[in-house]
A = this chain, B = another copy of it.
């Protein structure tokens, strides 16, 4: 059983079926009946009027959002381990026309308000220095932690004071919502988020992510930017169908709950091996090479991660929508038996 990444999981059968059901001629691009329903469907989920666009990757979602929030000569505050910094091949620089990522440290890949304020205080208000225009946070973070509404509010307060925008990379937003027990609204616009990259592919989708604008004025020109970036697929109905299937009857929440439950079971078995609290579907464990080898010999696979300070290695395990508590029980048992 593989725990490399939720990225590699199969597509949920309901999503696949929705694509099959969408297999008929319709208006091209996003003029089709399904794509036209997205604003409404996402507005229901978020309990406010939003604009929602499908895009095929999280990188596209994130970087279209950043381009909407930050001019080419501006800066974007994010964590030094943020996906936009570490894993998108420089896409933020491409989409924004060269804006600067301003990298902050922070436990568990979280941006905290005090660190952000301190960084901003160090930027002189003169033309020689890049001025920050946006903050981008990842929820759940790259290390599987979630932000509380209060933490987000503290960051959005900074943004409001300075006329900056707040972006949330929600590649695992579903896991964060499921974990928190709060509503999608509680974790986004109600606490000052302007744009959300709402991930579905890691959570049972195939190739469709949603870019959700709470500030709908920002959405308008993003339609042009999406096309200009080559992300306006001609048969958009298959993209919209995936998202609508995920939203229907809260499939997205069910899937996230299943993955989270799998991660929790592993966490419980792991005890003090845990590097971070498990608040979503990622588990980081201290583990020697021999121990990791023993697990792999039993058919479990996963990535080695950064070496821990105490000399032990670390491994990362990510559970997927089809790896709930029952499914991962053998792994949990094996970890407990190490």
Contact = CB atoms under 8 A, between A and B. Distances in A.
A90 B99 contact: yes
A7 B28 contact: yes
A11 B28 contact: no
Given A8-B234, A227-B128, A228-B94, A207 B23 contact: no
Interface residues of A, number: 73
Nearest to A223: B127
Contacts of A228: 73, 88-91, 94
Contacts of A239: 207
A144 B266 CA distance: 54
A151 to B, nearest CB: 26
Interface in A243-259: none
Given A8-B28, A73-B221, 15 more contacts: A5-B234, A10-B23, A19-B206, A20-B20, A56-B230, A61-B230, A72-B94, A73-B94, A86-B129, A89-B224, A89-B227, A90-B228, A93-B100, A94-B229, A201-B235
Interface of A: 2, 4-5, 7-11, 16, 19-20, 23-29, 55-61, 63, 71-75, 86-101, 127-131, 201-202, 206-207, 221, 223-235, 238-239, 320
